[in-house]
Amino acid sequence: MKFSRRRMEEPEINLIPFIDVLLVVLIFLMLSTTYSRFTELQINLPAADAEKLRERPGEVLVAVAADGRYAVNRKPVDGRSVELLAAELGAAAQGRPDTVVIISADAMAAHQAVINVLDAARRAGLARLTFAAQSGTAAPR
């Protein structure tokens, strides 16, 4: 009897199932991950001088009262429509698109009144906006 010695085959590592499992894990992670974008509201308030009011030529101050009335640079706006407010903002900006619109809204003013100011500024071509706020905590009225 002649016994032949069998050659030892080198073991092969089959990578295809490993790759399949990794792809499934990758797809699971992609689908289950929530992507959130953090937005930041940057507010730049001018320094206030209590003794005198400083008028800056590149700024337009829009005041929103609690009852929804508007004033542009301390001048009351007749009516509450966005078109009238946009016309007043355009006149106050004197055609300068780099004018900064400072919105000073009453704490009890309706959200829609502030949105109307934003819409009027967009219609007037004024893209630089900021909000005025008091420092410290104020109790609601």
What does the pLDDT read at residue 37? 52
pTM of the full structure: 0.55
Q: Between 8 and 83, name the one with better pLDDT.
A: 83
Residue count (the chain):
141
At the top level of CATH, the class of 59-131 is alpha beta
- How far, in Å, are 24, 49, 82, 101, 134 from residue 119 at the CA level? 47, 30, 7, 12, 24
What does the pLDDT read at residue 25? 95
Note the pLDDT tens digit of each residue in 88-104: 888 888 878 788 999 98
What does the pLDDT read at residue 49? 54
- Lowest mean pLDDT: which of 34-38, 78-82, 116-120? 34-38
Question: Which tokens sit at 96?
Answer: 């300068």
Type and span of the H or E element at 123? helix 111-123
Strands 100-105 and 128-131: parallel
Burial class (CB in 10 A: 0-12, 13-18, 19+), 88: buried
Residue 36, pLDDT > 70, answer no
Residue 18, amino acid: F
8 Å CB contact between 60 and 99: yes
